Structure 1
Amino acid sequence: MNARIVLIDDHPMFRRGVAQLVRSLPGMEIAGESGDGASGIEMVERLDPDLVLIDLNMRPMNGIETLRGMRLRRLRARCVMLTVSDDGRDVLEAMRAGADGYLLKDLEPEELAMRIRQAVGGDLVIQGSLAGAMAEAAQQPLPQGEALTEREDQILDRLADGRCNKQIARELDIAEATVKVHIKHLLRKLGVRSRLEAAVWALNHPQQRRRSSDATTADPA
């Protein structure tokens, strides 16, 4: 079955170009297109796609508000922002609103195609050029005394590599539910709100990562 994608963007020409790219990819199809956030949310709820690509700067409902609206309705689709803004504050806000990725519209078609495949496959997608900007917007050291356990550190490594929960569970030979619990704990310890924010933190703060002094072996879980 083809992966179904919905585009939410108020620029018809850009939607047309992305739609053409998606249709050229094996196993992908465009399920629908919308030019505004409100109708986009309704479309996603009705069509239940696998992936939604959302523009940031739309009116009257912008991309962040659109994303939040979908998360409030608990729609299952993965959501990736596709925008012109490389402002770290926008990236951070999108991640905290529940985005599964953040890409810029100036990507080469080949890279955009690769990122779409990765997003459909469950990976977190963010351009390398945006990681630094996001980190600057969220400079946050690990709180004193809140050291990660070795297992949390192992999971954080894999989040930084873009692994999904199922992949992490398979690699560490633990239950997927256990992975979710560890992620919840490490997000709290790092003071971040999303797994992608944690991944970017890990990439930009290697010197601040430390394990508990008594965690010399992996957690049994």
Structure 2
Amino acid sequence: MPTSAKIKVLIIDDHPLFRQGIRWSLEDAPDMEVVGEAENGQEAIKLTERLSPDVVLVDINLPGLNGLEVARVIKRRDPRIGIVVLSVYEDDDQLFQAIKVGAAAYSSKDVNPEDLLYYIRTVAAGRYLINDSVLAKPNVATRVLHQFRELAATEDEQTSVLFAPLTSREIEILDCIARGLSNKEIANELNISGQTVKNHITSILSKLQVNDRTMAVIYAIKRGWVRYGYPEQGRVHENLEG
């Protein structure tokens, strides 16, 4: 959560009525402040540098410099800022591209005000809600993990043999998660209880300092700790509580 009393929000959208609607939705939230609005990418980047918002809401279909390009520039210049990408309709390719530019959340523009407030608060706290979107989209999860596997393959040998701070059992569990297995399926495959699986996953997240299963697998793949297949087509990852 930002150290200031209120979460500073910048709205980027080329439709004045939509910007006003978001502003109205946030005005009654005592922990938020709309610090600025922009109608195009160039203006947004300048305002971001001047206003230092905590969270930026950006429309993906901006004229000129599109929302993804704006998000990429903002994250490169100030990684602290949380990006929420908004789109007229949800699209797997847009979700994948939003992940690549470092967005923390991706949502359709018809999101209700209560959910939008939740997204902003969660992103301001440093969490990546976009991972939840990935878990619900097997095709996107496959693309994300496949790309990270390709990145891992280009790393030098020293990187791939770095000491992994995980036990052999935890590596086994990460392998299972990368193959798209549920907690129950992992328990059956490794002949352990479901609660033991959950305990191991909690330990993995703590050691790697990540928030969820997807990021744990990505972290492990980038370092070459997980060498088996990435999620199978059509498999849906469950969340940690699953």
Pairwise same-fold verdict (TM > 0.5)? yes
Runs of 4+ in 1 over 6 A off after TM superposition: 127-130, 146-149, 173-176
Question: RMSD between aligned alpha carbons?
Answer: 3.8
2:65 counterpart residue number: 61
User: In 2, distance between residues paired with 1:185 and 1:25?
Assistant: 33
Deviation at 1:92, TM superposition (A): 0.5
1:72 aligns with 2:76: yes
1:89 aligns with 2:93: yes
User: In 2, distance between residues paired with 1:119 and 1:100?
Assistant: 6
CA displacement 1:94-141 (0-9 Å, x = unmatched): 111110110111112222222222222222224967754x43245257
Q: What 5-or-longer segments of structure 2 have no aligned partner?
A: 150-159, 161-165, 178-201, 223-229
TM-score, normalised to structure 2's length?
0.60
Aligned length: 176
Deviation at 1:188, TM superposition (A): 5.3
Larger radius of gyration: 2
Paired residue for 1:150, among 148, 158, 170?
170
1:7 aligns with 2:7: no
User: In 2, distance between residues paired with 1:38 and 1:94?
Assistant: 19
1:139 aligns with 2:142: yes
Q: How does 1:1-221 map to 2 (within 5 A)?
A: 1-126=5-130, 131-132=135-136, 134-139=137-142, 150=170, 153=174, 179=209, 186-187=217-218, 189-190=220-221, 204-205=236-237
Percentage identity across paired residues of the two chains: 29
User: In 1, distance between residues paired with 2:107 and 2:11?
Assistant: 14
TM-score, normalised to structure 1's length?
0.65
1:216 counterpart residue number: none
Q: What is the identity, as a one-letter code, of the residue corresponding to 1:16? A: Q
